[in-house]
Structure 1
Amino acid sequence: MKITVTRPRDLGEAEIKRWRDLQLTGRDLGNPFLAPEFALGVDRFREGVRVAVVEDASGIAGFFPFERGPLGVGHPVGFGLTDLQGIVADDDLRLDARTLLRSCGLAVWDFDHLIARQALFAPFHTARRVEPVMELGEGFAAFEAHLKEAAPKTHKTIRYKERKLGRDVGELRYEFASADTADLRRLMDWKSDQYNRTGRTDRFARPWIVRLVRHFHETGFGVLSVLWAGEEPVSAHFGLRSGPVMAGWFPAYDTRFGKYSPGMIGHLRLAEGCAANGVEEIAMGRGGKEFKEGFKGREIPIAEGRVARRAPGAALHWARTTPLNRARAAVLDNPELYKRADRVLKTYARLRGRVS
């Protein structure tokens, strides 16, 4: 087994093709967060992005994208922004995780949305959860029929509010792929407002993330969808697309239209737009949105944990992060605690707004 570490930008065309071919070997490997385009994009704006190219007797057997920080602390590429992580390789690849880390110059590798079935990292899981996926392979009509059966109240509410929005504001129009940079800027403004309103960290306060999103929009790897009511933009979604798979990323809406549940209307319209444009599934990401239960057709088992070698950097990292990660995991796994934490964050955001 040979492992070579390089920057994604230094891979050749044949290597990129092999990466894409390996994505076809497993259903969940086709996710955009595991595509070479994602690693290449983040590599434009982050210095620590690397990829380990794993070779065996038959040739390239896998690609392991990661980010390397101080003291050899490693994370998946775009950590904190990604909803699926792992090594892009055949399931039968036999490789020791700590050997992989040693070859990458890493003391530790943290993950929080790892494909749980990857045997390489299975001994290092500390928690397992699932990511819901909308299935659209049989078309939108079949998807909507599933939604009506799985969550009839949710479907009825969405369609009712959709009609009411059309009557009160203007005829609804859905643009699946907007190339307008003003639409993108508006979505980021809406999302920043949501982050601040709910006490979360504003991702768009980080210039590199803004530049990354703009880059994906310009290259077509990112798809910006907008819901209009008359002349009013009501909601929008920016997702990543790799062939037949869409990864939900940044949904947002204009709070002036909050009573119409524009986010839920937007998700239903997104499903319709994706089905009409060759997208067969939408990975919705892990989260506490209850409506996802009705939308999902299947789930991707994901895992949280860390691989560590005996090194000073790993010990220091453990001391800094493990207590916080355990507390966060307890909240995520308990719906009542999740709701309480959400209320606390929103209260904090309101108080912070009054002080400022």
Structure 2
Amino acid sequence: MDISVLRPGELSAADRAAWTALQSKAHLQGAPGLANPFLSPEFTLAVGRCRPGVRIAVVRERGEPAAFFPFQRTAAGVGRAVGLGVSDAQGLVHRPGFTWDTQELLRACGLAVWEFDHLVEGQGPFERGAVGGFPSPVMDVDQGYETYLAKLRSRSPKFTRTTLAKERRLARTASEVRYVHDERDPAALDTLMGWKSAQYRRTGRSDRFAHEWIARLVRQLFHTRSEPFAGILSVLYADGQPVAAHFGLRTERVLACWFPAYDPACAKFSPGLILHLRMAEAAAADGIAYLDLGRGRKEYKDSLKTRELTVSEGWVARRHPVAAVHRVRRAPVRALRNAVVTRPELFGPADRLLKKVGKIRSDATVTVKPTKT
């Protein structure tokens, strides 16, 4: 393999166009997972502006790009998928039939180990290092919204009936209900991020937006537009005020769902569920094939999905002391987390405990007005 390792700013316009072309044809060549926006050059370049150590390995055959492998690395040679922790699709974007030698690739990239947690299907050489596979639910809208809704009614009749009834109830309560699929007002994004931060704290989870680089990444992607990539902010308004919002990424055929949230004051209307149905309708009209809801146990995902993809986590490594130490450190943590997440008898109590902690944390942040002296 002829492998060049580039910094994000060194990627040529021709190579970027070749990368995008590989993604646009992926569904015709038996690798639809490669069309995910988290595997787009735009996502890698945006992460590169927010995080150190981002690199892109360009593999050429007969002088032409055959594959693109984005990754992050430390000075010690520990490699991770680009945006590990926030990226919902990872892997090597490649031509049909292309295969690679993992050891040769890691050596060329200066990596002792490469870790992933959302490896897409069809990554044979990397899949040998997977330690587990996990469902990633999707909403298929390639045959139109009405077909999707008919499938939803058949699969989850009570859920569909209840959600549509709540939408009608919201419409009767508010003088105007309006959905904007591609909202360009940054203030709406700030509202969403505020809701999401509060949700993280309320449920005892780590607030992702407390990490400056994640907040900066989202704002950059909000302003990113290319053909066919875009950051999409979708908002449901009632009486001119946002009641639910979602920020995700899209390519020509995939809308990757990323950060959904809603106003807790409107919870009785289930505005988040209404929003997802409106997103599905608009995505179908835009020619999107499916909405990828992402890995993770959520009741609303089970209700909205039509099928599931599989993403894997694990690592591939060379025989190297750094790789051995990394595995010793990371393997127990991942094993414990996955044991809790995948077993209902453990997940339920853990989730309830986190919410109790979140309530205590939220109560402790009540603002106290200073007294006058």
Shorter chain as normaliser: what TM range?
over 0.9
CA, structure 1 residues 300+226, in 2 after alignment: closer, same or farther (shift >3 Å)?
A: same
CA distance in 2, matches of 1:70, 1:155: 51
What is the identity, as a one-letter code, of the residue corresponding to 1:65? P
In structure 2, what is the equivalent of residue 172 of structure 1? 177
- What does residue range 145-294 of structure 1 map to in structure 2 within 5 Å? 145-220=150-225, 221-294=230-303
CA distance in 2, matches of 1:15, 1:6: 11
Where 1:301 maps in the other structure, the secondary structure is strand
1:33 paired residue number: 38
1:9: Cα distance to partner? 2.2
For 1:27-66, what aligned pairs fall within 5 Å after superposition?
Answer: 27-57=32-62, 59-66=64-71
1:349 to 354, 358, 362: 358
Query: Number of residue pairs matched?
Result: 356
Runs of 4+ deviating beyond 4 Å? none
Amino acid at match of 2:240: E
Please give the alpha-carbon distance, in whole angstroms, between the structure 1 residues aligned to 2:224 and 2:133: 34
TM-superposition CA deviations, 1:187-222 (whole Å, max 9, x none): 000000011111111111112211211111112321
Q: CA deviation at 1:91?
A: 4.7
Greater shift in the superposed pair: 173-182 or 336-345: 336-345
**How far has the Cα of 1:354 moved from its partner?**
4.2
Q: CA deviation at 1:116?
A: 3.1
How far has the Cα of 1:247 moved from its partner? 0.4
* Aligned counterparts of 2:201 and 2:75: Cα–Cα separation in 1: 29
Counterpart of 1:89 in structure 2 is: 94
CA displacement, residues 134-180 of structure 1 (integer Å, 9 cap, x when unaligned): 11111111111111111111101101111122222343210011110
Q: Which amino acid aligns with 2:106?
A: L
* Residues 333-342 or 32-41, more deviating: 333-342
Partner secondary structure for residue 234 of structure 2: strand
Q: Which amino acid aligns with 1:281?
A: Y
2:349 counterpart letter in structure 1: R
Q: Which moved more, 1:109-118 or 1:294-303?
A: 294-303
Amino acid at match of 2:186: T
Aligned counterpart, 1:136: 141
Measured in 2, the distance between the counterparts of 1:230 and 1:336 equals: 42
For residue 117 of structure 1, give the secondary structure of its aligned residue in structure 2: coil
**Are the aligned partners of 2:201 and 2:361 in contact in 1 as well (CA < 8 Å)?**
no
CA deviation digits over 1:61-99, x for unaligned, max 9?
Answer: 100001112421111111111111110013522211122
SS at match of 1:219: coil
In 2, Cα distance between equivalents of 1:226 and 1:42: 25
Q: Which segment is superposed worse, 110-119 or 51-60?
A: 51-60
Match of 1:100 in 2: 105
Amino acid at match of 1:144: L
Paired residue secondary structure (1:291): helix
Between stretches 207-216 and 74-83, larger displacement belongs to 207-216
The sequence identity of aligned pairs, in percent, is 48
**Residue 280 of structure 1: CA displacement?**
2.2
Is this contact kept in 1: 2:179–2:278, CA < 8 A? Answer: yes
CA contact (8 A) 1:84 1:115 kept: yes
Equivalent residue letter for 1:169 = A
Shift of 1:58: 6.0
- For the 8 Å contact 1:91–1:118, the answer to whether it is kept is no
Whole-angstrom distance in 2 between the partners of 1:283 and 1:11:
28
**Contact 1:135-1:282 within 8 A present in 2 as well:** yes
252-261 vs 114-123, which deviates more?
Answer: 114-123
- In structure 1, runs of 5+ residues without a counterpart are none
One-letter code aligned to 2:248: G
- The 8 Å contact of residues 202 and 361 in structure 2, kept in 1 or not, is answered as no
Q: Which residue of 2 aligns with 1:301?
A: 310
Backbone CA RMSD of aligned residues: 1.5
CA contact 2:236–2:245 (8 Å) conserved in 1? yes
Asked if the contact 1:62/1:87 (under 8 Å) is kept, the reply is yes
In the TM superposition, what is the alpha-carbon distance from 1:240 to its structure 2 partner? 0.3
Q: Where does residue 17 of structure 2 map in the other structure? A: 17
